[in-house]
Amino acid sequence: MTDNNSVIFTEASGASPATEGDFSVGSDASPSTWALDAAAQESHSPDPNFSLVIMDVLDNRNYFEQCLVEKFVEMSTSSRLGVNPNRPRSWVFALPSLSSNTQTPSVRFSIRAASLIYFAVAQHNKSAEVEAVRWYLAGLESHRGLIQGSTHTSSSSLMHKSTSTSPDISVPMMFLYFETMKRTSLDAWAHHLAAAVTMVEAQGPDYYRAGQDHAMFRSLRTYAAFKALLWNDPCSFASQEWCEVPFTDSTKIPYELLIDILLAVPHQMKLPLAPGGDFRDSMHRIAYLDESERQVLERETLVLLQRLQNWWWHFTQNTGALFAQLAANLTPDAVDSVTTSPLTEQPGIFPDTLTAKTVSLYNSMMVIVYSVLMYLEECSQSLSCDGTMSPISRYRFEIERHSSSVLMAAWYQNWRHPYCGDALRTGFSLKIVSWLGAHEGQREEAHRMMALWGMESKIVVG
C-alpha cells in the first residue's frame, strides 16, 4: 500500500449503539476476588513509553508495529489482573500472533487500525487517530478486494474452511472494535457485525466448540445480542442449537447465561418492527397493538422477568456478592441520592470489572422488562377506568432502581479502567438507561458517561 493521505469522507451523524470491543469473556466471581488488586490503582494518564512506540509506528517500522499491538493487548486487558483463573481466555491475546504471521494484508491493517484508535482515544492523540483512519480505510479496501476475488474463484472459499477461521473473522471484528471506540458512520458497526456473523453461520455451531474460534464466537454472540435488542432484530444465535452446541466442551459463565436471555428478548417479545427504527420506536408502537396482542406481550415479558429473577438468585448464591444486598435494598431515597449525586464513585462495590459488567447487563435488562410492563399498563389505563390501583408507580421505581445499579457499575468501570473491554460492554447498559431511564437525571448521567468514554464521539475525515 502506498503511504498517501487520501481518505474517504465519512458520515458523522447520529449516535452509534453502545456496543463494546471484545476484551472480556468473563468468570465466576468468588468472595476471594473481592480484595482489590494493585491494578485497580493504575493511572489512566498518558503513558510516555507508549507515546514513543506510537511515534515509531507512525514511521512505519514493522518491529514497532508489533510492539504497538502487544502494548494494545496489554493495556486493554490490564483490568483482568488478579481475577478468577476460571475466566475464559479472550481471543484478543492472539492478536500479536495474528498480526505477525498473517499473509492477508487486511488482517494486519485492521489490527493496526484498532490498536491505533485505542491509543488515540485513551491518550487523546490526534496524530494516532489520523493514522488509525488511514489504516482502517486501507483494511476496508483490502478486505473488499479479497472478498471480490474469492467470489470470482470460489463462492465458498471464505465461508467453509477446515482450518481456523479466526484470521478472517478478526477483520470485521477489528473494524467493529474501531467503530466502538470512534464511529465513522451511523451504522458501520452493524455492517461489520453482520459480515462476521455471516462467516460464523456458514461454518455452523459445531465448528466453534473449542480453541481460538470458540473464544471469538463468545465475543461475537455478545455483539450480536446487543444489536438484536437495540434494533429489535432477532438473531439466529438465539436458537437452541447456537446457544448449546458451541458450549458442549465448556461451561457457560453467568454473563453468557445472561446473553442467552438477551438473545431471546426480540424473539419472545415480538414487538412491532419499526422500519429504520430501533427498540424505542418499537416500544412506542405498543399503543397500536390490540388487546389480545398486548396480552401475549405481557405474558412473554413476565416469562423473561422470571428468567432474569431466577438468574439473579443463582448468581448471588454462587458469588456471595455483597453488592447484591446493596442493590436489592435500594430505597426510594437511596435511588434519589444516586441520581442527584452522579459523580460519587463507588470503587469498593464490585470485585472486578467482569462482575460490574455482568451486574450492569442484568439491571439494564430489568429496565427493559419493566419499561415494557409500564407501557402496557399505560395503554390499559387509557382504555379502562375500573378504579383499581395502578402498578405504574412500582414499575417506575423498579426502572429507577435498576438504572441506579447500572450507573454504579459504570462509575466503577470508569474508576478501574475506562477503556477495557468490560467497561466498553457496560456501555450497552448505559445506552439502555439513556433510552428508557424513568428519571431525567439518570438518563443525563448515562449520556455523560457514554460521552466520557468516547461512545458518542465521531470522526470527521477530510
**Predicted pLDDT at 83:** 62
**Predicted pLDDT at 454:** 80
Per-residue pLDDT for 294 more than 70? yes
Per-residue pLDDT for 415 more than 50? yes
**Predicted pLDDT at 21:** 33
When pLDDT is averaged across residues 183-202 and rounded to a whole number, the result is: 92
Dihedral pair phi/psi, residue 16, rounded to 5°: -75, 140
When pLDDT is averaged across residues 69-94 and rounded to a whole number, the result is: 78
Per-residue pLDDT for 222 more than 70? yes
Q: Measure the CA angle with vertex 252, ends 353 and 305; round to 5°.
A: 80
Bridge partners (DSSP) of residue 183 are: 458
Q: Measure the CA angle with vertex 338, ends 396 and 35; round to 5°.
A: 120
Per-residue pLDDT for 255 more than 90? yes
CA distances from 188 to 146, 193, 273 (A): 19, 9, 21
C-alpha cell at 357: 459488567
Q: How many whole angstroms separate alpha carbon 405 and alpha carbon 327?
A: 6
CA dihedral 27, 189, 120, 130 (to 10 degrees): 160
When pLDDT is averaged across residues 237-247 and rounded to a whole number, the result is: 97
Most confident of the ranges 100-109, 249-258, 377-386: 249-258
pLDDT mean across residues, the chain: 79
pLDDT in tens, 129-183: 999 999 999 999 998 887 776 655 544 444 555 556 678 899 999 999 999 998 8
When pLDDT is averaged across residues 263-283 and rounded to a whole number, the result is: 88
When pLDDT is averaged across residues 243-256 and rounded to a whole number, the result is: 95
**Predicted pLDDT at 112:** 94
Higher local confidence (pLDDT), 325 or 360: 360
| Least confident span in 9-18, 274-283, 348-357, 395-404 | 9-18
Per-residue pLDDT for 237 more than 50? yes
Other Cβ atoms less than 10 A from the Cβ of 396: the count is 15
**Predicted pLDDT at 192:** 95
pLDDT in tens, 318-351: 776 555 555 555 555 555 555 444 444 455 578 8
Q: Where are the beta strands (DSSP E) in 305-433?
A: none
When pLDDT is averaged across residues 118-131 and rounded to a whole number, the result is: 90
Per-residue pLDDT for 435 more than 80? yes
Per-residue pLDDT for 462 more than 70? no
Bridge partners (DSSP) of residue 458 are: 183
Q: How many whole angstroms separate alpha carbon 50 and alpha carbon 207?
A: 38
Amino acid (1-letter code) at residue 141: E
Asked if residues 432 and 368 have their Cβ atoms less than 8 Å apart, the reply is yes
Which band of pLDDT confidence, cut at 50, 70 and 90, is reported for residue 203? very high
| Least confident span in 33-47, 178-192, 215-229, 368-382 | 33-47
- Does residue 232 sit in helix, strand or coil? coil
Q: How many whole angstroms separate alpha carbon 134 and alpha carbon 462?
A: 11
Higher local confidence (pLDDT), 23 or 451: 451
Most confident of the ranges 48-57, 278-287, 395-404: 395-404
pLDDT in tens, 9-57: 232 233 333 333 332 223 333 323 222 332 333 334 455 555 544 544 5
